[in-house]
Structure 1
Amino acid sequence: MTEEKQETYVRKTRRSQPGSHRFALAKQGLTGPRLSGLALSINEELRRDLSVIKAQSRRAGNDDGYVVKFLSMCETHIVGPEGFAFQSKAKSFGGQSDDKAANDLIEEHFENWGKKGSCDVTGRYSWQDIQTLFIRTVAEDGEILVRFVEGFPNQYGFALQLLDSAHLDINYNREIKDGTRIRMGVELDEWDRPVAYHILTNHPGDRVYFYGNTRYEHIPASEMLLAFLPFRVGQCRGVPWAHAALLEMHHLHGYREAELTGARVAASKMLAYEPDSDVEPEEEDDEPDFVEEVEPGMAVVVPYGYTLKELNFNQSGSNFAAYMKEGKRGAASGLDVSYNTLGNDGEGISFSSLRQFVLEDRDGWKKKQRWMRQELCDLVKSKWLRMSLLSNAIPGLRFSELKRLDNHRFQGRRWDWVDPLKDEKANTEAINNMTKSPLQIIRERGEDPETVINELLEFETMVEQVRKKRAVTTQQQGNQNGKEEEQDS
């Protein structure tokens, strides 16, 4: 084939490609939305939009009842009323079994450290309070800063400091050297691993910040945690969890406000004085005496030359409930929770449907529990144990044994069913069919099998002691009755 024929063939082939082979969404301006042709990185998107998203999320967290409900659900279902249950799993020197004596010591001292006034540098929070604040802040702001203060003047030489993520300046971006760079206050190496955080010494919302005191403190990543739930590769800052629902919530709030205003106006009976076109106005300086406020049963005298007209503003509101329901459904999808729970709406839902929604919600809460356990709880416990052993705060345990002692388990809360009898029967059948073990069932309920077994053994011991005391008492009463019968005879 000659070069001329080849060129003609290529030209014909290019022209014959039909436009219908493109993705429909890519047809900008025709059937798809208008998008920028340049694909921005996640960090560039956050640099441009994160401050506005966080401000809107905080506003909704203060004023929007459904967002407040969502944040409360995060506290209730992720942390729970008692926080994550901690159990030490230190191994014996041979590594074949658990070291019960060491585990009891570690659990006792970790509980003591977690009391209010010890684990937090301000002395305001307990370990459970820190967990609750952690998850609420991450849900509302998308991120939180947790500083590990080693050498703090308490018994264990370790405490936590919670910081607002606003201390990380979104506009602080630098190229340093050797591939190291600063993105929105986070210093990253060539592998995008955080190596340090450049923290504003003053909160940008404080007035002192605006008087030339923009100073940064360089804190290594080993001493601080920027906790956020990532949703895209390469992300170095967090996004509020309600970001996909905030716009829908904003529309719902505006629509509800407009409907309520219309309903109030429609419910108000108003009067208007209308000039009579058949009556010529008199040339007088004084204004007519108009009655602007009326009371029940009150008679009104209409000024000469005017007629009284009643104003009625009809407000049907027939679409209000349907629109609000659909809007809340969309918002619930953006929050990754079921609409019935978020909207407090149990109308017209069957038990089986409710169970399905609850199961899906609980799986979502478990995913967030797993993230929080790995992100915060495991890290805090390991750092606490290291500093406690260095400070000789746990008698009988040495720092040289850190490797075997630093094993533990945090268990998130679990939930009971509305009909627990059916679930208990199902668990019994599962044990009989050997599809579940009792240990697995105990863990699914949020309990520790070892603790449950020890409590059962303790209970059996107590029952045995009571039985022995009753037997002795019964025997003494029998002997006493026998002596009385002998004396009577």
Structure 2
Amino acid sequence: MFAGFITKTAPEEPMMGEAEADLDGAAIASLEPGTMQVLLPGEDVKFSSPADVGGGYEAFQYRTLLAVSASLGLPYHLVTGDVRQANYSSLRAELVEFRRRVQQLQHGVIAHQLCRPVWARWLETAQLAGRLDLSDPAAARPVQWIPPRWDWVDPLKDIQAQVLAMEAGITSRRKVVEATGYDIEEVDRENAADAARATGLGLRYRTSPGETQGARATPATRPDPGAGAGNDTDDGAAATDPATEQE
């Protein structure tokens, strides 16, 4: 859209296509695509040329979108898709705060206010319809809601941190599996089925299913180092503690 202004030396002479003048004496002439307008002597057409926004428009737009993202509680790169000024640390910091807010909505709104009433109504309807035979309906109401998993920027570091947390006893394998959006009982059944199938087919992998699941277990009883102190071997090699032997 642009506007043109007609200047002429004789204002009383109407221009071709010019409408009637308003109370202020200003008239508007229409301009259509492909029109060749013939001007009278002394008339000229000048189009408006607004000033350019300059080189600071991109910075202004960036700050405006930052304010919009902050007001919505969303990361800037999720709103705009612009990751030019982002790095691993900034993306992870934004995602941690954003996912904490989403988890509040998942557990406080969706699970508590939507899923729980639906589950209670379904359980009651199924029992009244004779689909379920429950001796204690109240005992069947407690359930665990598992939201979809989150994908991190660097999943390798995240998995390594989870393994270290399990080995240190900070968290349990159940919580780690549930954080991925799966049920631990279903995962265990799949691991057992995979292990049985691999054994039946004679397959051997670097880590067989069911062989090293979860944190490394510490043996309940450790051999006494002094028990074999007097048993010298022929070549003078010392006995190796099986609990400390590394693969």
1:448 to 2:173 alignment: no
Superposition pairs of residues 269-288 of structure 1, within 5 angstroms: 271-276=4-9, 287-288=14-15
Which of 88, 91, 97 in structure 2 is aligned with 1:360? 97
Larger Rg: 2
1:293: Cα distance to partner? Answer: 5.2
The equivalent residue for 1:310 is 46
d(CA) in 2 for partners of 1:274, 1:382: 78
C-alpha RMSD of matched pairs (Å): 3.1
**Residues 289 and 367 (structure 1), Cα distance of their counterparts in 2 relative to 1, 3 Å cut:** closer
Query: What is the correspondence of 1:95-134 to structure 2 with a 5 Å cutoff?
Result: none
CA distance in 1, matches of 2:68, 2:5: 43
Which secondary structure does the structure 1 equivalent of 2:136 belong to?
Answer: helix
Q: How does 1:62-461 map to 2 (within 5 A)?
A: 264-265=1-2, 271-276=4-9, 287-289=14-16, 292=31, 302-304=39-41, 306-318=42-54, 320-371=57-108, 372-394=110-132, 397-398=133-134, 400-461=135-196
* Residue 342 of structure 1, CA deviation: 2.0
TM-score norm. by structure 1 comes to 0.35
1:466 equivalent in structure 2: 201
Change (3 A) 1:334 1:292: closer
| Residues 289 and 303 in structure 1, CA contact (< 8 A), matched pair in contact too | no
**Take 1:424 and 1:289, find their aligned partners in 2: how far apart are those partners?**
77
Q: Tell me the alpha carbon deviations over residues 218-258 of structure 1, each in whole angstroms, 9 at most, x when there is no partner.
A: xxxxxxxxxxxxxxxxxxxxxxxxxxxxxxxxxxxxxxxxx
User: How much does 1:453 deviate?
Assistant: 0.7
Residue 145 of structure 2 aligns to a residue in which SS? Answer: strand
Pick closer, same or farther for the CA change 1:422–1:272 going to 2, 3 Å. same
Q: Percent identity?
A: 21
Structure 1: gaps of 5 or more residues: 1-263, 469-489
CA deviation vs aligned residue, 1:98-130 (integer Å, no higher than 9, x gap)? xxxxxxxxxxxxxxxxxxxxxxxxxxxxxxxxx
Q: Secondary structure at the match of 1:410?
A: coil
Unaligned runs of 5+ in 2: 18-29, 204-247
Give the match for residue 191 of structure 1: none
What SS does structure 2 have at the residue aligned with 1:409?
coil
- State whether residues 302 and 308 of structure 1, in contact with CA within 8 Å, keep that contact through their aligned partners in structure 2: yes
Residues 440, 315 of structure 1: CA spacing in aligned structure 2 closer, same or farther, 3 A cutoff? Answer: same
Q: 8 Å contact 1:271–1:308 — kept in the other structure?
A: no
Report the CA distance shift for 1:293/1:458 in structure 2 as closer, same or farther (over 3 A). same
Question: What is the CA-CA distance between 1:360 and the residue it aligns to?
Answer: 0.5
Structure 1 residue 431, shift from structure 2 partner: 3.0
Cα distance in 1, alignment partners of residues 84 and 68 from structure 2: 18
Q: Report how far residue 463 of structure 1 moved.
A: 2.4
Change (3 A) 1:410 1:299: closer
Distance in 2 of aligned mates of 1:274 and 1:456: 85
Normalised to the residue count of structure 2, the TM-score between the two structures is 0.64
